[in-house]
Amino acid sequence: MLTVPEDGFAFCPVRDVLDRVGDKWSLLAILYLGSAEQLRFNELRKNIAGISQRMLTVTLRSLESDGLVARTVYAEVPPRVEYQLTDRGQGLLEAVLHLGQWAKEHAPAILQARQQALAPTKPRSVNDLG
Amino acid sequence: MLTVPEDGFAFCPVRDVLDRVGDKWSLLAILYLGSAEQLRFNELRKNIAGISQRMLTVTLRSLESDGLVARTVYAEVPPRVEYQLTDRGQGLLEAVLHLGQWAKEHAPAILQARQQALAPTKPRSVNDLG
DNA sequence: CAGAATCCTTATGGATACTG
DNA sequence: CAGTATCCATAAGGATTCTG
C-alpha cells in the first residue's frame, strides 16, 4: 500500500513529468526525435501531423528549457536548425515507453469500458448498487 | 533507436494514458485511492488539496468509466459512497509510480535547467551557437 | 453526504500575417 | 527556413447555488 507523504503529494515528481509531457504535442515531439539522430524544424513539422508552426516552436522551446532537447543553429543562409534529444530526453523517452507498455496491454479494456459507460441501459441513480 | 510506426504515432497508447492521467486531478485521486482501501467522497475531497466538488465528481466519474475506480453506493441515509481502485487502476498506479522513479531522480536537474533558461544573460538570437 | 446544474474565468491551442 | 507577433476559438476548470 502506498503511503501518503507529509506534504500530501504537493511535491510530486510524477505530476511534474505529467505536466511536462501531458500537453498536446510534447510527447509526439519526443517520440519523433527519439526515432532519428536529429531533425530540422520543418522535418518535425511534417512528421507531427496537425501541429501548427506556433505550437511546434512553443513545444520545442519548453522541452529545450528543461534540458530534454538540444537546439543547434548553423550559421547558414537559409538558416538550418537541428533538434535532438539530450541524454536526459532519451531517458524520459524510455521511462515513458515503459508506461506505454502497460498502456498497450490495457488500452483495449479501457476503451471497451469507456464505450459501455457511454451507452448505459438506463441513467444511473443512487439506487444502483453495484 | 525507436521506429516510427506506419500511422505516425496516430495510434499511441502512451498518449491515451497521458490523456487519462494528464489532467489536473486524476493522478492525485489515483494516488490517494492507492494509499487506502477505499475512501468516501468527502474524505477524498479533504485529502486532495484545492479540488472543487465539481472537479472531484467529474474526475471520479471519468476514472470510473474507464474501469480504474470502483464506486460503491450504500443505501443509507445520509448517503455513503465509497471509491476504491480496481485492479486495473492499481496497475496503472504502479506503472505511473515507475515513471515517478525516473522523475524523482531527474526532477532537480530539470528544475534547475528551467530556472537557468528563465534568467538568461541576454535574449537569445539566431547567432548564439551553443 | 454526495452530488447536479449553472455560470463564469482562465488556459490551451489554432489561424494568419509578417520577418531576419 | 525557421521562426515572431497577434488575434481568436475552444476547452478545462472554479465558484456558487440547489437537492434527494
Each residue's pLDDT, cut to its tens digit, for chain B (130 residues) gives 899 999 999 999 999 999 999 999 999 999 999 999 999 999 999 999 999 999 999 999 999 999 999 999 999 999 999 999 999 999 999 999 999 999 999 999 999 999 888 776 544 544 443 3
pTM comes to 0.91
**Helix residue ranges, H only, chain B:** 13-21, 26-33, 41-47, 53-65, 87-118
Burial classification of residue A104, based on how many CB atoms lie within 10 Å of its CB (0-12 exposed, 13-18 middle, 19 or more buried): middle
Residues lying close to strand C (Cβ under 7 A), chosen from 31-70 of chain A, are 50-55
CB of A32 within 7 Å of some strand D atom: no
* In-domain check, residue B26: yes
Task: Look at residue A8 and tell me if it is in a domain.
Answer: no
pLDDT at A14 over 70: yes
pLDDT of residue B127: 41
Answer whether B23's CB lies under 8 Å from B57's CB: no
pLDDT score at B117 = 87
**A117 vs A68: CA distance, rounded Å:** 38
Contacts B98 to A, Cβ<8 Å = 95, 98-99
Chain segment A87-116, per-residue pLDDT in tens: 999 999 999 999 999 999 999 999 999 988
B6 lies in a domain?
no
pLDDT given for residue A120 in this prediction: 59
pLDDT for the residue numbered A34: 98
Q: Which domain does A95 fall in, by range?
A: 13-116
Beta-bridge partner residues of A85? A69
Residue type, A31: L
Closest CA to A4 of B34, B63, B87: B34
Confirm whether A4 is domain-assigned: no
Residues on chain B touching A127 (C-beta within 8 angstroms): 73, 75
Query: What is residue B119's predicted lDDT score, i.e. its pLDDT?
Result: 72
Report yes or no on B77 lying in a domain: yes
Residue A122: the pLDDT is 45
Quote the number of domains for chain B. 1
DSSP B39: E
- Residue A130 maps to a domain: no
Decide if B130 is inside a domain: no
User: Where are the strands (E) in A3-78, listed by range?
Assistant: 39-40, 69-74
Whichever domain contains A40, its CATH number is 1.10.10.10
Residue B81 in any domain: the answer is yes
Binned at pLDDT 50, 70 and 90, residue A54 comes out as very high
Per-residue pLDDT at A126 exceeds 50 = no
